[in-house]
């Protein structure tokens, strides 16, 4: 599966033409650089017209075809940006030329930097260096050398807890119990005897609840739920 960076690169440099035209090498072309040689079910001729949707379809078919054709020639591990750059190159110069290219040879020999630089060699059409091809090869080289970002899987914060004391539930329960005791002490000194018993009763309930929660947390910790 080609990444979006590859598809965008090909679209940018091929451009969309819904009426058939001759490319720099004199080959009838249509859509996003689709020619009869691509073998995707269309043979552009003078006067032919297609829709934008059809151009997208032929582009996708072409990219899939070239991806398949060059995959077997690649003998070293390759990331999605390196592969995308190679597919773009093959789409432009043909899979046969790509398989004979210095870029592929250096890559298979383990010389990735050399492979990236060798992409720049393919800047001619009809024996002439073309500015458009120079820019395309530079873009392909840049894509080839772009590191692929791998997002680290989200780590469950619970796995970092080394003891029950690090549990937020345990910490909250301890705070609740302490708060209940503190509130009771403060309130009792300012109340008459009957009110004191009521306050102490409520404080006792709060402390018991906090202790029960802490007990349940310890039980779950022992069972492996951290």
The residues assigned a catalytic role are 14
Q: Please give the structure tokens belonging to residue 120.
A: 């720049």
Give the three-state DSSP class for 20.
strand
Looking up tokens 């040689």, which residue turns up? 37
What is the C-alpha separation between 170 and 123, in angstroms, rounded? 67
CA-based nearest residue to 73, from 34, 93, 103: 103
What is the C-alpha separation between 70 and 83, in angstroms, rounded? 9
Q: How many CB atoms lie within 10 A of CB 116?
A: 20
Looking up tokens 């899979």, which residue turns up? 95
């Amino acid at each position: 599966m080609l990444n979006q960076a590859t598809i965008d690169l090909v679209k940018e440099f091929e451009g969309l033409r819904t009426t058939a035209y001759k490319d720099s090498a004199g080959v009838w072309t249509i859509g996003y650089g689709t020619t009869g040689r691509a073998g995707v079910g269309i043979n552009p001729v003078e006067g032919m017209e297609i829709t934008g949707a059809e151009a997208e379809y032929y582009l996708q078919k072409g990219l899939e075809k070239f991806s398949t054709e060059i995959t077997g020639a690649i003998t070293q591990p390759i990331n999605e940006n390196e592969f995308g750059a190679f597919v773009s190159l093959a789409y432009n110069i043909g899979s046969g030329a790509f398989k004979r290219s210095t870029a592929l040879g250096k890559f298979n020999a383990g010389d990735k930097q050399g492979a990236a630089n060798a992409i720049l060699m393919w800047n001619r059409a009809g024996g002439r260096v073309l500015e458009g091809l120079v820019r395309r090869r530079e873009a392909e080289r840049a894509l080839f050398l772009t590191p692929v970002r791998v997002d680290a899987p989200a780590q469950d914060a619970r796995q970092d807890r080394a003891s029950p004391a690090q549990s937020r539930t345990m910490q909250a329960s301890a705070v609740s119990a302490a708060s209940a005791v503190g509130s009771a002490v403060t309130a009792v000194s300012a109340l008459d005897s009957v009110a004191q018993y009521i306050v102490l009763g409520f404080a006792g309930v709060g402390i018991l609840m906090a202790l029960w929660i802490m007990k349940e947390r310890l039980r779950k910790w022992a069972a492996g739920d951290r």
